[in-house]
Amino acid sequence: MKKAPYHAFILFTKLIGMLYGILHPLNTSPVVSAFKFNFIHGGLILTMHLHHCVIDNAGFGGFVYQLAENCYSIIHKTQPPIWDIKCLDRSQFRCKGMLSLKQMNIAPQLVQHTLQPVHRPNTAVLLHLPKSKVETLKYLATPPGGDIRISTYDAFSALLWRTVLRHRARIYSVDPQAPAFFYEIVNVRSRLGLPARFQGSALLAPTTADLHHIPSIADVISDALLWRLAVFVRQVTATATPETLQALLDKASPVADKTNLRLFETPLTTMSLGITDVREPPIYDADFGFGQPKAFRHFFYPFCPETLICVYPPRVLYEGDHDAGCEFHVPMEKELVDAFLDDPDVQYYFDFVGLKLSPRMVYTEVSPGSGTCSSTCEQ
């Protein structure tokens, strides 16, 4: 590889069609996968580019496991892993007919990209939720009576939703009574009977707009009991049903040019917030035969999605680390970072892990117990 002309900038020019964000010119035949190895002292950094229109995060995780099992079988000369051909079967999502925009009676001037909101200069903080704090958080997020089950996901989503919006409300002109827009990225493989390693995008993006009662921004940022927000999160997740997906497919399948489906998206605002959970499958458990991943990050270069929180699986830093919990990539305006990190709820529940310093996704991560920092370049 050292002798080969393997230059990152040459590779990068071929990946423009794969970059995050809806404002890039669409490519009808984009590169859908690319791989790069950076060898470092004691290991390597494997960068995997998989086009999100082809595969989602859960599918990516399944791909990683399949790759790891194949590597393991080659190194240890064991039986190759089984490959389920159903992982490539997309017949469940096949379109049954096509209509043009003219046939749909959609005015051409309405065909435009849904623009991201204009945020002030933005960065992201990396937080860690210790396992020892989870039970306390779930207790506060569980409604009395025990009739509604609140998961760890519901609890930390509610807390982050409240905390992020509470600080953003200080710098943006918002109507406290306006509906609060919260969205999720939900993996629906198990709900549709698909293989866990299905190689495609099998997800829904339910929102608070799907609820009968939509909370206001004031409801979110107030000092009301946390369980009220956790219930809203649970209700949003519950709307991601096979019936919801079928209704969406019926709505989308007649459209010949899928780029026009952005007509149906709800425009995001500076107070919109979403969450994507990439904990499953647990990447850190994948055994390549020569080692297991020690760190996992989802690249967003050159953009930082200002309205999307990313949830990472627990990362065990040392042997006997029994308090390792989820990690969170939390978008935050630069002018609010200090106040956000000083927030009593953030101080109590989370450990500060690192801060994105530049548009090139360079994190400065704080080494636990040492007081020192290390930088990691994610591009």
Going by the DSSP 8-state scheme, the letter that residue 116 receives in this structure is P
Question: Long-range CB contacts (< 8 A, 24+ apart) of 261-266?
Answer: 262/22, 262/112, 262/113, 262/114, 263/106, 263/110, 263/111, 265/114, 266/181, 266/207, 266/209
CA distances (Å), origin 321, targets 7, 130, 164, 324: 38, 10, 29, 6
In this prediction, residue 170 carries a pLDDT of: 94
164-203 per-position pLDDT tens digit: 999 999 999 889 999 999 999 999 999 889 999 999 989 8
Residue 346 has pLDDT above 60, yes or no: yes
In Å, what is the CA distance from 310 to each residue of 136, 182, 298, 307, 341? 22, 14, 8, 10, 17
Of 86, 90, 21, nearest to 253 by C-alpha is: 90
No. of H helices and E strands in the chain?
10, 11
Q: Is the pLDDT of residue 109 over 80?
A: no
The amino acid that residue 245 corresponds to is: L
Model pLDDT, residue 242: 86
Residue 375 binned pLDDT confidence (cut-offs 50, 70, 90): very low
CATH of the domain at 304: 3.30.559.10
Looking at residue 266, its pLDDT comes to: 54
> How many independent structural domains does the chain possess?
1
Separation of alpha carbons 219 and 235, rounded Å: 16
- The dihedral over CA atoms of 148, 314, 241, 159, expressed in degrees to the nearest 10, equals 50
Cβ within 8 Å of residue 224, ≥6 positions away: none
pLDDT at 251 over 50: yes
Report whether 131 contacts 322 (CB < 8 A): yes
CA angle, corner 270, sides to 264 and 273, nearest 5?
A: 70
**Largest Cα span, the chain:** 67
pLDDT for 284 equals 92
Q: What is the pTM of this model?
A: 0.82
Q: Running DSSP on this structure, what letter comes out for residue 203?
A: E
> Which of 7-11, 67-71, 72-76, 370-374 has the lowest average pLDDT?
370-374
- Residue 292 has φ and ψ, to the nearest 5°, of -125, 150
> What is the Cα–Cα distance from 196 to 193, expressed in whole angstroms?
9
Residue 170 resides in a domain: yes
In a domain, 304, yes or no: yes
Instruction: Calculate what percentage of the chain has a pLDDT beyond 90.
Output: 50
Range of the domain at 170: 8-84+121-356
- How large is the angle between the packed helices 152-168 and 134-141, nearest 10 degrees? 80
Q: Give me the chain's average pLDDT, please.
A: 81
Q: How confident is the model at residue 257 (pLDDT cuts 50, 70, 90)?
A: low
Provide the β-strand partners of residue 204: 186
pLDDT category, 134, cuts 50, 70, 90? Answer: very high
Structure tokens at 193: 């009977």
Tell me, yes or no, whether 141 lies in a domain.
yes
DSSP category for residue 132: G
**Looking at the domain assignment, is residue 376 inside a domain?**
no
* Tokens read off for 263: 């007509």
123: pLDDT strictly greater than 70? yes
186 in a structural domain: yes
Q: Is 94 contained in some domain?
A: no
What pLDDT is recorded for position 104? 55
Taking residues 247-274, what's their average pLDDT? Answer: 70
Q: Mean pLDDT over residues 279-287, rounded?
A: 92
- Compute the distance between CA of residue 287 and CA of residue 187 in angstroms, rounded to an integer: 23
Burial string for 348-369 (b: 16+ CB within 10 Å, else e) reads ebbbebbbbeeeebbbebbeee
Q: Whole-angstrom Cα distance, residue 345 to residue 302?
A: 30
Handedness of CA 183, 184, 185, 190 (dihedral sign): negative
Please check whether residue 205 lies inside any domain of the structure.
Answer: yes
Q: Which of 41-45, 68-72, 73-77 has the lowest mean pLDDT?
A: 41-45
- Cβ neighbors of 106 (< 8 A, separation 6 or more) are 260, 263
